[in-house]
Amino acid sequence: MSEHMLPILVVEDDPSLREAIGDTLELAGRPFVAVEGGEQALAALAERAFSIVVSDVRMMPMDGITLLKEIRSRLPHLPVVLMTAYAEVDKAVDAMRSGACDFLLKPFEPKALLAHINKYELPDTGESAGVVAIDPASRELFAMAQRVAQTDATVLLTGESGVGKEVVARFIHRNSGRKNAPFVAINCAAIPDSLLEATLFGYEKGAFTGAQTAQAGKFEQAQDGTLLLDEVTEMPMGLQAKLLRVLQEREVERVGGKKPVPLNIRIIATSNRDMAEAVAKGVFREDLYYRLNVFPVGIPALRQRREDIVPMARNFIAEQGARLGHANAVLSAAAEEALRNHVWPGNVRELENVIQRALILSPGNTIGPEHLHLQARVAPETASAAPVVPAAAGGGGAEGDKRLDNMKDLERDHILRTLAEVGGSRKQAIERLGISERTLRYKLQQYRDEGFFKD
């Protein structure tokens, strides 16, 4: 069993039954925390992550149904299995309506308990899985990702540049029924328009000058697995129509080919742009947007999941320290505080760059704030954690719009200031910002249109 395996939360006010459940889990090698009531359970949930909650229904003063409703309001995607007696089946029905994923009728065999846990629990999202999900916003995000992974639904991941959209996409693939098949990613912003069609769809021999042999495209390479269309909003309009047809027909035709190839793949698309705005501006097809937007997931910015910042930084130190001559490097308390207080307009990608730079600059194995070279700016109120919701859900009202505008202002100021610091060199700017050249071009054009930038 993984040492990072998330524990199970057991809520049972009967000491003997609580002990018996604990014995079952211990014999199965499963970590767990056992508490005697609803208030203690909520306190435990506020302190750490759990893979599943197994709770009795009949408890005092807070019964299992009330606890379930509290969990649903705080952690909507955390699985909850309720234990109930046969005479309380009506309560079990009420529990299912309130969001329980299942219930166990007492008395039950140990194997029945373990079967329910194995069926519904959230996966390990600790360091052993290549994912850091300490912050409640991240735990909600990966809980949602775990749910959609069990289906073949097309997923649209949106969020600012550098938030880790490909990490979430790989997590979905790794937890799906397609995990043993290929995961193929293509960055639509990084490939020249003239090559993108052949890269996506493949080509036959002689289809164009230089096509000496036939070549399968990314769609065919992902057969039976998952295809990630990264930054799909950067795809040219002409190619969007062809992509729409592939998604509709579930078959692809190579450039210069005449025989369609049937596809059995899962599509995940990402964008760091407001896709509804892109549709309104006529740079992205509305029908393609709705074809991709089957299950939208908005990924919070790093400033909205602050409890992840230091654990992520430690991960990057562990990954890069030995290569850069600081295998035993650690962050000082002041450096950790500086990391927490930074706004992180470049998100996780910026954090990785900062840690790599600090490892190079630090003369010893202790990284201090002076080695981070962060802009001296304290995170504003707008950086408070936000719930993870499907991107199409919207909400927030005027206050939410104000917070979004403030963050857009911060991002614009950071990009333009970085560009000025490197003397206008776009190549150096994208390296510092951790974004693609095409994204920088798009942002600068947007700032020109708004009157904030002139060449």
Given a cut of 70, is residue 25 above it in pLDDT? yes
Structure confidence at residue 185 (pLDDT): 94
Q: Are strands 80-85 and 266-271 parallel, antiparallel or unpaired?
A: unpaired
Do the first three CATH levels of 8-120 and 153-298 match, i.e. the same topology?
yes
Rg of the Cα atoms in the chain: 25
Domain at 153-298: CATH code:
3.40.50.300
Q: How confident is the model at residue 72 (pLDDT cuts 50, 70, 90)?
A: confident
Question: Measuring CA to CA, which residue among 65, 59, 7 is closest to residue 32?
Answer: 7
Question: Has residue 178 got a pLDDT over 50?
Answer: yes
Which pLDDT value is given to residue 5? Answer: 66
Average pLDDT, stretch 155-164?
93
Q: Into which CATH architecture does domain 8-120 fall?
A: 3-Layer(aba) Sandwich (3.40)
- In sequence order, which residues have a C-beta less than 8 Å from that of residue 119 and are 6 or more positions away? 102
What confidence tier does 88 reach under pLDDT thresholds 50, 70, 90? low
Would the pLDDT of 396 be above 70?
Answer: no
Rounded to an integer, the average pLDDT of 205-223 is: 84
| Cα end-to-end span (Å), the chain | 57
Q: Is the pLDDT of residue 92 over 80?
A: no
**Residue 85, pLDDT above cutoff 60:** yes
pLDDT at 387 over 70: no
Please check the confidence at residue 407 and state whether its pLDDT lies above 70: no
Helical H runs in 154-308?
A: 165-174, 193-201, 218-221, 237-249, 275-280, 286-292
Tens of pLDDT along 422-452? 878 888 888 788 777 777 887 888 787 777 7
Residue 403 reports pLDDT greater than 50: no
Q: How far apart are CA 158 and CA 231, in angstroms?
A: 9
Residue with tokens 């199970």: 8
**Most confident residue range from 111-115, 126-130, 198-202, 225-229:** 225-229
Q: Is the pLDDT of residue 406 over 90?
A: no
Residue 121 has pLDDT above 80, yes or no: no
Percentage of the residues of the chain whose pLDDT score is greater than 70: 86
Query: Which residues, 6 or more positions from 143, have their beta carbon under 8 angstroms from its beta carbon?
Result: 75, 76, 77, 78, 122
Q: Which of 90-104, 218-232, 284-298, 340-354 has the lowest mean pLDDT?
A: 90-104
Query: Residue 43, exposed/middle/buried by CB under 10 A (0-12, 13-18, 19+)?
Result: exposed
The residue-averaged pLDDT of 129-143 equals 79
**Cβ(48)–Cβ(4) below 8 Å:** no
CATH of domain 395-449: 1.10.10
Mean of pLDDT over the chain: 84
Extents of the domains making up the chain: 8-120, 153-298, 304-373, 395-449
What's the rounded Cα separation, in Å, for the pair 390 and 141? 9
Q: What is the pLDDT of residues 256-270, one digit of tens each?
A: 888 899 999 999 999
Q: What is the pLDDT of residues 354-375, one digit of tens each?
A: 999 999 999 988 999 999 988 6
* Among 38-42, 78-82, 243-247, 388-392, the least confident range: 388-392
pLDDT tier for residue 386 given thresholds of 50, 70 and 90: very low
Please give the CATH architecture assigned to the domain spanning 304-373. Orthogonal Bundle (1.10)
pLDDT category, 419, cuts 50, 70, 90?
confident
Give Cα 336 to chain centroid, integer Å.
Answer: 23
Give residue 184's pLDDT: 96
Q: In the predicted model, is pLDDT for residue 182 greater than 80?
A: yes
pLDDT confidence of residue 39 = 94
